[in-house]
Structure 1
Amino acid sequence: MRRAAMMGRRPLSTASAILAGTVLPGGLAGAGQDAFITPQSELFTNVTVIDGRGGPPRPSSAVLVWGGRIQDIGAQGSVAAPEGTVVVDLSGSYLLPGFIDAHASPRTTEELRALLAAGITGVRDGAISLAAFEERGRGGFGDDPVPVVYVGGPVLDSGSATPGVALESEAAAVAEVARQAADGAGFVSVASGVPLSWLVGIARAARRAEVPLWADRRDGGWLLALRAGSDVAGPLVSGDPELLPENERGPFEALVEAGQVPAQVAWLERLEPQGPEVDRAVTALLSSDSALLPLLAGASAALDCPADAATCTPLSNDERSALEAVWPKAEALVRTFHGHGVRLLVGSDAPRTTPWGEGFHSEMQLLVEAGIPALEVLGMATRNGAIELGQLHERGTIEIGKRADFLVLEANPAADIRNARRISFVVIDGDAWTFDREGDWRRVRFN
């Protein structure tokens, strides 16, 4: 896929600071060098591999990388390396696939670099505008160290005052799907303003073109969009009346219309996480093999309201207390979907409600706090994202033949998900990078 061009410098973020202060594991030398590195093979040894496929961590492993791809994986001492291979001792470190943010809208290289500093090597641009699409063009973006950006075409929208493609009819929407697919779009995104009556036609057009449909944020909830043919549902705390008991739907909508309490509080108060309405939603997701994008960090963002979040609205003390009181229902709901085998994704919703990079790690932590094992959350953040973007053949797991896009961590994230922030270096297409103390990415040279 395409990479964005370098456009400037950002101050050190938390993850950047961790990288800048890291003492690289034994076997690394010359970090921060700009000298051209001739393509070579590297054997990463004495490392614990978390491959993203759901199995337990594999200690004392070796991973052979050459030509930007993983050439071999095995137990320590079992991997044969070509003559001249550089051996990199990673004793005490953990190697896992790069993270995939399934819902963010980066616009600048500074924002992309912040994501990369958080270990995100791939990101789905979920709301690209027509102007941004035309500015970027359809060509390559160079080879600078930023995440791979997965873009569809401009987001489909209706009416005239829209940043996406303004559509006046269902027929125009169907034609736009075909045009974007012919232009190489990896998926089609639909804004919440598109009439629900158009979605069936849009979904059929997407299926004919063999591109996924992302209608993952709908006014009034996602169940109807899912039934129409959306391949991704979400967010979890949706305000969808259909997920509530029938006798609670009227009171909920009245409260929201009156603005008496925050909508997410009113909705969670009336939710039955193991009720028959949720069971029907589980069936709808499983029968269509659709994924669920929880966006828990976005739903709870108003508790903290990060300074660099675009649309976060602070809650009053009473509203904060009310949301905290009903939050266990959100946790129970995500456990219900996970327990039934629904494929969950990890998305940050940056910059709408969470900061770059930080929101992704907050999302993983919230999923763990909801009761999902950290190892499974790591699979959601890697393998599941690759599945939904049609990239599992290239990324998302540590397997022979796949691109060498992975992270090396100082501590075990399966034991404590917060350790996913402790990044020693990031490998993209076989090249290792870290931050220098000025906040710039530097190639790591192995000797």
Structure 2
Amino acid sequence: MKRWIRRIAIALLVLFLAGWAALYFWAREPYRPVVHIPASGRVLLTGATVVDPATGAKTPGSFILMQGGRIVSVGTADPAAGDAAVQRIDLAGRFVTPGFNDMHAHPLGDADPSGTLGLMLANGVTGFRQMHGSDAMLQQRAESRLPTGQLAPRALILPGGLLTPLNASTPERGIEAVRHQKERGADFIKIGLVSKPVLYAVLPEARRLGLPVAGHVPQGVDIVDAARRGMHAIEHLGPGGAALVACSTRQAELRRELDAIPVMKGPPFTIPYSDKLADALLHRLIINPAAATTPADTRRRAIMIASFDEARCRRMARALRDAGNWQVPTLIRRKTTEQADRPEFARDPALRYLPPATLQLWKDVTAEFVEKVPADARALMRREYDLDLRLVKLFDEEGVPMLTGSDESGAWAVAGFSLHAEFDELAKAGLAPLRILRMTTSDAARFLGRTATMGRVAPGADADLVVLDGDPTADVRNLHRIAGVVRAGFWHDRAALDRLLARIEAGKGYLK
């Protein structure tokens, strides 16, 4: 009898908390007005060298005519000679590429993302792949109420709520979550923290409904098996060392141990606003998951490092390539979490664009990381990162499709600037400047199936462009030399971008 009374009490408590969560998050859901970007007028970029990221071809002395947010024509002859109504921008000596895309970003999770989105645009980011969503966010998009106006990049695709034990505790509930998100208009399913059986149930159901699946490989799951079963994109090289486990000569031992780790349990029913609740519960962990490193994690990390085998890595890379899997390494995210105590992160000039509360939280979580994770464990993380760089180079050599993403939701990763830091980390891994440019432009378009309108400077494409002061195919540092940005056909020169940054700094992280 006491056991049943306890169970009933627990059930009532859970129901109470679920009701409280629904009321709390409903009340906090911000109202967003309809966002309308006006049609741009006729703008002509003259004298620039147009770069084709897909081939590396460069066409000097080009004229790019834009109108209504689209590119109308591209050529070496002036298409608007004598037309006084055209706004002419002289770009002689400069290089034009398609706009940059941050293919792993979370800006729309903030109550006021104006500063985050402005920082992205000021750094040449004209599009982003939103990596967590909600029913409310999908509804806002359907009603044109996403806060992505003229001073923000385009939200390219959105998922529904992150799949976690709160909404996908069992295979059956995982399938229900996929169907629900399909009904709400999600573009893909984002795997967060689920069990192996849930992942294996979600993948075929998502495929049946035409929804790609991306995100984290659950602990104990073979990364190649996940790809072969239909996981379209894998973020952070796993995470949790999933890719490096596959490179280990002790892979079977490591996988057995990971399989034995208990998975987080969830309620047997759906909690309203579970996506918001997950964000609230996991907020500090998301800022730096490395702060939760255990001695067992450190021991497994030491095994992975000691048993790394390049031949196994290459076989894994070829298998991922053949399965059509995309990798989004987010190297800078891995570096800023697992090496959060590096002094240069705390001295980054870009920190002045953050809200003071955000910066203080990052400092607090970093202090926890240093306090809780022993020095020898942190040293192993740095050695693991060296293998991450090596792994990305192997992916490059074996033809694994990859995308640039910064995951600016974590400590020391300032939106916009973090994508440029990712460029630099990819270069450290040994990737050529053209490959890095391609990963953030034409490969992003190919991943999304939008090669007619994205990732190229050509008639019919979106008028989302970056103008650079140096050849981006010659040196990765030239990707940082932004002279101007075109977003939806509107021209923002360097002075305008600097004014945008100044507004965000004056607004303490927000556009005021």
TM-score relative to the length of structure 1? 0.78
Q: Does 1:191 align with 2:192?
A: yes
Q: Deviations over 1:100-141 (max 9, x none)?
A: 1111111212111111111111111112255x6378463213
Mapping 1:315-334, distance limit 5 Å: 322-325=380-383, 327-334=385-392
CA RMSD of aligned residues (A): 3.4
How many angstroms does 1:182 deviate by? 3.5
- Structure 1 residue 275 corresponds to structure 2 residue 276: no
Is residue 148 of structure 2 the alignment partner of residue 138 of structure 1? Answer: no
Q: Which residue of 2 aligns with 1:202?
A: 202
What secondary structure sits across from 1:63 in the alignment?
A: strand
Q: Residues of 2 paired with 1:296 and 1:72: CA distance?
A: 37
What amino acid maps onto 2:417 in structure 1? E
Deviations 1:311-359 (A, max 9, x none): 6645766556555555443222112111111111111011224221222
**One-letter amino acid of the counterpart of residue 208, structure 2:** R
Q: Which has the larger radius of gyration?
A: 2
- Secondary structure of 1:343's aligned partner: coil
Q: Taking structure 1 as reference, are residues 260 and 377 closer, same or farther at Cα in structure 2, changes over 3 Å only?
A: closer
For 1:334-413, what aligned pairs fall within 5 Å after superposition? Answer: 334-353=392-411, 354-413=413-472
Q: How many correspondences in the alignment?
A: 400
Taking a change above 3 Å as real, the CA distance of residues 82 and 202 of structure 1, as seen in their structure-2 partners, is farther
Task: Specify the code of the residue in structure 1 equivalent to 2:212.
Answer: P
State the Cα distance separating 1:372 from its structure 2 match.
1.1
Q: For 1:187-336, list aligned pairs within 5 A.
A: 187-192=188-193, 194-220=194-220, 222-236=223-237, 238=239, 239-240=241-242, 242-247=245-250, 250=253, 258-259=295-296, 261=298, 267-272=304-309, 274-276=310-312, 278-301=313-336, 302-305=338-341, 306=345, 308=359, 313-314=369-370, 322-325=380-383, 327-336=385-394
Distance in structure 1 (CA, Å) of the matches to 2:326 and 2:445: 12
Structure 1 pair 180–237 and aligned structure 2 pair: CA distance change class (3 A):
closer
Contact 2:150 2:488 in 1 (8 A): no
* Partner residue, 2:131: 126
Give the superposition deviation at 1:188.
1.6
Post-superposition shift, 1:430?
0.5
Distance 1:334 1:157 in 2: 27
**Does 2:129 correspond to 1:67?**
no
Who is 2:160 aligned against? Answer: 154
CA distance in structure 2 between the aligned counterparts of 1:182 and 1:260, rounded to whole angstroms: 39
Residues 152 and 180, structure 1, Cα contact 8 Å, conserved in 2 = no
CA displacement at 1:362 relative to structure 2: 1.2
User: Contact 1:237/1:330 (CA < 8 Å) preserved in 2?
Assistant: no
The SS at the match of 2:104 is: strand
Q: 1:331 to 1:37 in 2, by over 3 A?
A: closer
Tell me which residue corresponds to 1:29.
Answer: none
Post-superposition shift, 1:379? 0.4
Moved more, 286-295 or 342-351: 286-295
State the identity as a percent: 26
The verdict on how the C-alpha distance between 1:226 and 1:410 changes in structure 2, with shifts beyond 3 A counting, is: same
Q: What CA distance in whole angstroms lies between the structure 2 residues aligned with 1:214 and 1:81?
A: 48
TM-score by length of 2: 0.69
- Deviation track 1:280-319 (CA, whole Å, cap 9, x = no partner) reads 3223322221101112112222335545485664576655
For residues 294 and 101 of structure 1, the distance between their equivalents in structure 2, rounded to whole angstroms, comes to 12
| CA distance in 1: counterparts of 2:97 and 2:419, whole angstroms | 16
Shift of 1:396: 1.9
CA positional deviation for 1:79: 4.8
**1: distance between equivalents of 2:127 and 2:333?**
20
Post-superposition offset of 1:409: 1.7
Aligned 8 A contact 1:186 1:389 in 2: no
Separation in structure 2 between the aligned mates of residue 415 and residue 92 of structure 1, nearest angstrom: 15
Q: Aligned with 1:363: secondary structure?
A: helix
2:39 and 2:69 in contact (8 A); partners too: no
State the Cα distance separating 1:225 from its structure 2 match: 2.8
Name the CA distance, whole Å, in 2 between partners of 1:408 and 1:90: 8
Structure with a larger share of its residues in helix: 2
Q: Mean Cα displacement is larger for which, 397-406 or 318-327?
A: 318-327
Give, in whole Å, the separation in 1 of the partners of 2:71 and 2:430. 33
Given that residues 40 and 490 in structure 2 are in contact (C-alpha distance below 8 angstroms), is that contact kept between their aligned partners in structure 1? no
Partner of 2:180: 179
Q: Partners of 1:137 and 1:242 in 2: how far apart?
A: 39
The letter of the residue matching 1:198 is V
Q: Say whether residues 1:420 and 2:456 are aligned partners.
A: no
When residues 269 and 419 of structure 1 are mapped into structure 2, their CA distance, relative to the original with a 3 A threshold, is farther
Counterpart amino acid of residue 358 in structure 1: F
Gaps of 5+ in 2: 1-30, 259-292, 347-358, 505-512
Q: Is the 8 A contact 1:64 1:81 kept in 2?
A: no
Residue 86 of structure 1: CA displacement? 3.3
Matched, 1:105 2:106: yes
Change (3 A) 1:413 1:5: farther
Provide the C-alpha distance between the structure 2 equivalents of 1:347 and 1:42, rounded to a whole number of angstroms. 30
User: In 2, distance between residues paired with 1:262 and 1:64?
Assistant: 58
